[in-house]
Structure 1
Amino acid sequence: MKTWNILAVDDDKESAASIKDLLERRPVSSRGDQCKVATTNDFNSALRILEKEQYDLLILDIRDQGMAASQGISPDGDAVTAADLGLTAYAEVTQRRFVPIVFHTALPDLASDLEAPPFTTVVSKLDPDEARIRSAVIEAFDSGLPELNRALIRHVESIHREFMSEFVQKNWNTFDGKRHQGDLAHLLVRRLAMSLTEGAPVLFPYLESSENHQIHDDKVHPMRMYLLPPADSWTTGDILQYADHRPDRSTEGGAEDGPSETQESVAQYWVTLTPACDLVEGRRKADYVVMARCLPLEETPEYLKWSSRNGNGDTATIAAQKSMQKLIANNREGQRDRYFFLPAAWDLPNLIVDFQQVIHVEYENVQNSPRLGTLDSPYSQSLISQFTRYLGRMGTPDLSIETVIQRLESSLTTQVSGDD
C-alpha cells in the first residue's frame, strides 16, 4: 500500500480544505492506497511548489474569483478570461513535466476539450455528488501511470546520484573545469540510456508481460524492439503505411504467384531499408526511399494452419507448430533470410518482411505516409544485415555428400588394410 502526494490548487480556501478532508479520509485507489494533500490558494505559487516537490497528482480550479472581481470579470460564463489562471497553470505544468491533472471547477465547460482520463479529468464543483472528485482521483491512481512515473523519476535520480558521487567526485581532479562539462554530460546521457536499455531494476515490476508470460533474462519483450512513437526524422527501420499503386504481387506472403491484374489502392505495411545517413534532413542524399513489403502474419499459410482448430478445440499439430516457429525465427522452409519477422507491439500488428517485395519510392511521395514505429538498435541493423545476405547470396550446385562419405570410407578401408 502506497501513500500518494496530491497538490490541490483552489483560490477558495474552504473548497481546498474540503478536498483535502475528502481525499485523506478514505483510500484513493482500489488497492487501498492513501494520500496526503497539500493545498495552495495561489495559482502562481503552484508552479513554484511543483518545481521544488514531487507530486503524483494535481487538482486544479480554473477561475481566480478574486482577480475576476477586481477586473470586473463575470464569476461564471463560458468564455475564457484573463482570470482563468488554472488554464494557464495547466499549460505551464504540461510543458514542464508529466502529472495527471483533475480540474475541479464550477466552470467545467472551459476545460471540456482537455478531458482525457486518466491524464486529464474534469469534475464540476456544482455536482451534488462529492464522490465524483474522489472517483476521478481513484481512476488516475488505478491506471498505474503515477506509479510508473514515480518509479522512472526515482531511477533517473538514482543513476544521476551514483554517476556524480561515484564517478565524477572520485575523478574530479582529472577533469579540467568547465572544459569537460560537455564530456560529463555525454557520459551521463549514455549511462542513463544504457541503464534503461538493460531494463532498470526499479522498473522490473512494470516490464512484465501483461499476459503473465515469463520473459527470461536472455530474451526480450517485443516492445523493446521498437521506438514508439517513431524516431523524429526518417531513418532505417521505419515502419509505415503506404499505398503502392503498382500491381499487387502477393496475396499471402510470397511473390511466386506473379502479378495480379488489380491495382492496389489500400495502404500496406512497409519498412524502410535506405541507410539512415541518406535520409538526414538538411543534407539528404536519397531521392528515392527503398522499402520492403511487410505482410500480416495472420495471412500466411503457416498461421492459418497453426490457428486452425476443430470443433473440439484441439491444439495445432506438431508440424504446424514447427512451421510457425520457423517462420517467426526467420527460417521459413527453403526460404532462409528472405523473411524477417516483426512482432506485434502497441498498434503494430505481427508482420513478415518479404525481401523479394522491394520498391523504390520518390522521397516526396512517401514522406507524408504515416509512420507507426521505428526498429531500434540492434534490430534495424539486423534487418539490413539479413537483407544484404539475401541479396548477396550465391547459389551453387549441391555437393554430392554421398561421394565424400564414400571416399572417406574408402580411405578408412585402405588405412586398415595397410595396418594389417
Structure 2
Amino acid sequence: MWNFVAQNWQQLGVTPDRIALAYLLARRLAISLSGPGIRQLARDLGDPTGAAAIEGRVHPMQYYVMPPVEPTPLAGDVYKGQVGDQNGYWVLLTPSCDLVAGREKADWVLFARSDLLSEQAEYQKWREGLPQPPGPIQEKLEALLRNNRQAKGIQPDRFHFLPGALALPDMVADFQQLTILPRSQIGSLKRLASLDSPFAEALLSRFIRYFGRFRADSAVP
C-alpha cells in the first residue's frame, strides 16, 4: 500500500478531488489486505504459518463486522438475549432500509432463531463417530455446512449456516423459528456482529427463497 502511494503520489497528490482520492486509497488498502496481504499480516501478528487465509476458501471472520460499525440495526445482524421464554442467538431479517434512524418504517422487527451447530443431529452423530466418522455421516454434516441439509421432510433452504468467529459460535439459523419484537425492544438484545456483504445478502436471499416457494399443479395428467 505504502509503496503504491510513494510511487504514485506525484500524480495523485495534485488532484483537486480529495474525495475521489480518499476512495481510491481506501480501495487500494482493502485490496492490499486481502489474499497474500492477510497472510503477511497474520505473520506480523505472530502466526508462524500465515495460514489466516486458505486459498479458495473464505475465513469465517470475513463473514462479519465485529463489533458492528453502523449505529442503526442492519439485516443480518447477530444478536444474543432473551426473546419471550427463549434465550439464545438471533439473526435480524427486517430490511435495513426500514430501520434507518429518523426514517424508520418498521414498527416491528423480524428475527430468526440461530441454534448452536453442536446441538444439531448431524454434528452430534459426526462427533460420536470420531476419529473416523463413517462417510455418510461426514457427508450429511458437510451438506448442512454448505446450506444443503439432507434429511427426510426437510427443505434445505429452511436453514442457513453461520460459521463461528472469535466469540461467536457456529450456528444454524432456522427460518421456521421466527419471532417478532417491537422495534423499541431491539435494545434489550446484545448486538454482537453484522454480517458483511455478500454474506448478509446470501442469508436474506435464502430466507426469501424459502418463504417465496409456491406450487402450481400441472394441468397434464
TM-score range normalised by the length of the shorter chain: 0.7 to 0.9
Aligned pair in 2 of structure 1 residues 212, 168: CA closer, same or farther (>3 Å)? closer
Per the alignment, residue 37 of structure 2 pairs with 200
Match of 2:78 in 1: 239
Partner Cα separation in structure 2 for residue 197 and residue 214 of structure 1: 10
Q: What residue number does 1:229 align with? A: 67
Does structure 1 retain, via aligned residues, the 8 Å contact 2:113–2:175? yes
Q: Structure 1 residue 378 and structure 2 residue 198: aligned?
A: yes
Larger fraction in strand: 2
CA distance in 2, matches of 1:332, 1:208: 37
CA distance in structure 1 between the aligned counterparts of 2:96 and 2:45, rounded to whole angstroms: 29
The alpha-carbon deviation at position 181 of structure 1 amounts to: 1.8
CA distance in 2, matches of 1:199, 1:283: 42
Give a deviation string over 1:70-100, Cα, whole Å, max 9, x none. xxxxxxxxxxxxxxxxxxxxxxxxxxxxxxx
Cα distance in 1 for partners of 2:121, 2:37 equals 39
Partner-residue secondary structure (3-state), 1:267: strand
Aligned-residue offset at 1:199: 5.8
Alignment of 1:10-409 (within 5 A): 155=1, 157-162=2-7, 164-165=9-10, 168=12, 172=14, 175=15, 177=16, 180-198=17-35, 200=37, 202-203=40-41, 205=43, 215-233=53-71, 234-245=73-84, 264=85, 266-309=86-129, 314-333=131-150, 334-395=154-215
**Aligned residue identity for 1:321:** Q
Q: Distance in 2 between matches of 1:314 and 1:397?
A: 48
Q: Which has the higher contact order (CA 8 A, sep 6+)?
A: 2
Structure 2: gaps of 5 or more residues: none
Name the SS for the 2:178 alignment partner. strand
RMSD: 3.0
Q: Which runs of 5+ in 1 are unaligned?
A: 1-154, 246-263, 401-420
The CA deviation string for residues 297-320 of structure 1, in whole angstroms up to 9 with x for no partner, is: 1001111111004xxx65211111
Deviates more, 1:281-290 or 1:217-226: 281-290
**Structure-2 change in CA distance of 1:270 and 1:346 (3 Å):** same
* Cα 1:270–1:160 shift into 2, 3 Å: farther
* Shift in CA distance, 285/332, structure 1 to aligned 2, threshold 3 Å: same
Contact 2:52 2:59 in 1 (8 A): no
Bigger-Rg structure (1/2): 1
Summarize the Cα distance change of 1:362–1:330 in structure 2 as closer, same or farther, 3 Å threshold. same
CA, structure 1 residues 286+215, in 2 after alignment: closer, same or farther (shift >3 Å)?
Answer: same
CA contact (8 A) 1:163 1:188 kept: no
8 Å CA contact 1:242–1:366 kept in 2: the answer is no
1:361-390 deviation line (CA, Å, top 9, x unaligned): 111112231111111111001111111111
Report how many residues are paired.
215
